[in-house]
Amino acid sequence: MTHTIHDVGIASQIGSYSDGVEARPNLRWLITSGTPGLSAGGELPKDIVGQAELAWKNILRILDKAGMGPADIVKVTQYLIRAEDIAAYAKVRKQFLGDVKPASMLLIVPQLVWPEMLLEVEVIAAKE
């Protein structure tokens, strides 16, 4: 395993993530841009579930191009524009990450680059 989880009991009170993740030295790093639930053809679903599923599919495609997968994610940052979407988003995230628990930050922001975008996700991954 390329990562060591450092939990102090805070994350487990809130959600499915780790308080801290330490990556071993000499790993390759992948840092994604904020990735919306937008298709390569420009389609943007209207609802949070559709956008979240597409955002995570996009993230997994980026990871795959680097020879990585969900287990290589050490940090995920999520930007949502509506607090009421947190529960639905969390279900989609769990669907794509399973038992993987990277360090995590979720922010509620007033707007993203396109007003109809409901979320963006960015990850940092590391692998040998």
Domain of residue 113 covers 3-127
The CATH number that applies at residue 79 is: 3.30.1330.40
Q: Is the Cβ–Cβ distance between 66 and 30 less than 8 Å?
A: yes
Q: Which residues are paired to 22 by β-bridges?
A: 4
- 75-119 residue pLDDT tens: 999 999 999 999 999 999 999 999 999 999 999 999 999 999 999
Domain count, the chain: 1
In the chain, the percentage of residues whose pLDDT exceeds 70 is: 99
- 20-74 residue pLDDT tens: 998 888 999 999 999 999 999 999 999 999 999 999 999 999 999 999 999 999 9
Give me the residue label for tokens 């790093």. Answer: 29
Q: What is the pLDDT of residue 96?
A: 98
pTM value > 0.75? yes
Q: Where are the alpha helices (DSSP H) in the chain?
A: 11-14, 48-65, 86-97
